Amino acid sequence: MTGGTPVVDPADMALRALARVNLAAIERNCALIRREIGADVALCAAVKANGYGHGAVQSARAAVAGGATWLAVATGGEAAELRAARLDARLIVLGALAPEELDEALDADADVVAWNERFVEQLATAAGARAAATAAPPIRVHLKLDVGMGRLGTRDADELLRVADRVAAAPGLELAGAMTHFPCADEDVALTRGQLAAFTAFGERLRAAHPGVLLHAANSAAALALPESRLDLVRCGIAVYGLSPWEDDATAHGLEPALELRSWVAALKPLAAGETVGYGARFRAQAPTWIATLPIGYGDGVRRGWERDGVALLGGRRRPLVGRVSMDNVTVDVGPEPGVALGDPAILIGAAGEERLTAEEVARRLGTINYEVVTALSARVVRAYHRDGAPA
């Protein structure tokens, strides 16, 4: 079994919606990023949203094996899940933390992100309460400067320097880092350079007062394409999973897609001209054909939008999805001479022989991005882990 060959494991075929995840690919993707960024830059693997749909804990383990020393999540609950799995890495919660979520993040000993006095006061209060209860480690805080994303963080560098002083002065808080996040690293390098300059100017002022603070800004696109943005640490998500931040062919960048999404042919029936398929009778056969039903639907993350231009690989060939995507099933037109049998595997993302159906192509057909395609895979999809086809 080698990298690109599909795994046809009969034991898997009765699983209606199966995501096969190659942990060795995640490990190699991290090793590739590590080689690109060099020994002086740390790799933080983003495993938020259930590891971009791949499974948070398993993906995190593979990322750490590939050289990641930090793991990034978006919520307190995600940090708790990783900490419970005893991963040997520093955790950071990138997202905004509601007061109710804060303890969960801090119990997981995760670093947190702050940009205003109000949240820093909450942190200082939490640190006081925790110090009274136990010999708690300091709460490690990263400041966030907004250089153009317009979501979290402050645009006011002076204000952020005041927040930095407050963090540094508060007992129980440690000023660990400062960060920003680029809105267009994948599409506009010139704009991103300017935003990086704004951040590094702030970083210099910050370090003049608080030496040793870590600076980080780069996501996958910046880490791979804009070396000067790497600073002390890069935060890579999409590339870790072998998907392209530019929505092009990931393998052209040396990345290996880790995830394959498959189902099986649960029903195969002839359709006469004029007969219809699916809710709303949206597909009506123009000529006699065969319809294969795959027991995977929008309840699994195959969005209804796949109806418009979706394809699946059956019998080693691309076949169009027809009719509405339902919650638990999709229907595929396999033509008058199907060359497909009941029980055959069907691939919705992945490879079959020479044919490849990438998350990037699925995204293009759906009018979205690969990030959303894989993150949409729901809890109902069984994740099966392997290493290049061997049991993980």
Ligand X SMILES: *Cc1c(COP(=O)(O)O)cnc(C)c1O
The nearer residue to ligand X, 38 or 171, going by C-beta atoms, is: 38
151 annotated among ligand-binding-site residues = yes
- How crowded is the C-beta side of 175, counted as CA atoms within 13 Å? 24
Residue 33's identity, in one-letter code, is: I
The nearer residue to ligand X, 51 or 345, going by C-beta atoms, is: 51
The nearer residue to ligand X, 170 or 243, going by C-beta atoms, is: 243
Q: DSSP character for 6?
A: P
Sequence-ordered list of residues with C-beta below 8 angstroms from that of 11, at least 6 positions apart, any chain: none
**Candidates 52, 144, 279, 371; catalytic one:** 279
Query: Which residues here bind ligand X, judged by CB under 6 A?
Result: 46, 48, 94, 181, 219-220, 235-238, 245
Least CB distance from residue 287 to ligand X, whole Å? Answer: 44
279 annotated active-site = yes
Least CB distance from residue 278 to ligand X, whole Å? Answer: 34
* C-alpha to C-alpha distance for 376 and 298, rounded to whole angstroms: 9
Chain centroid to Cα 300, Å, comes to 17
Q: Where are the alpha helices (DSSP H) in the chain?
A: 23-37, 48-52, 56-65, 76-84, 99-107, 117-133, 157-169, 189-209, 220-225, 306-309, 359-366, 370-375
Least CB distance from residue 270 to ligand X, whole Å? Answer: 45
Sequence-ordered list of residues with C-beta below 8 angstroms from that of 246, at least 6 positions apart, any chain: 186, 221
Q: Which two tokens stand for residue 43?
A: 């790799």
Q: Do residues 41 and 231 make contact, with C-beta atoms less than 8 angstroms apart?
A: yes
Least CB distance from residue 359 to ligand X, whole Å? Answer: 13
Q: Which two tokens stand for residue 192?
A: 């991103």
The nearer residue to ligand X, 15 or 238, going by C-beta atoms, is: 238
Q: Do residues 15 and 382 make contact, with C-beta atoms less than 8 angstroms apart?
A: yes
Least CB distance from residue 155 to ligand X, whole Å? Answer: 16
| DSSP states of 290-303 | EEEEES--TTTT--
13 annotated among ligand-binding-site residues = no
The nearer residue to ligand X, 58 or 219, going by C-beta atoms, is: 219
The closest of 366, 270, 352 to 314, measured between CA atoms, is 352
144 annotated active-site = no
Binding residues: 151, 327
Please list the active-site residues.
48, 279
Binding residues for substrate: 151, 327
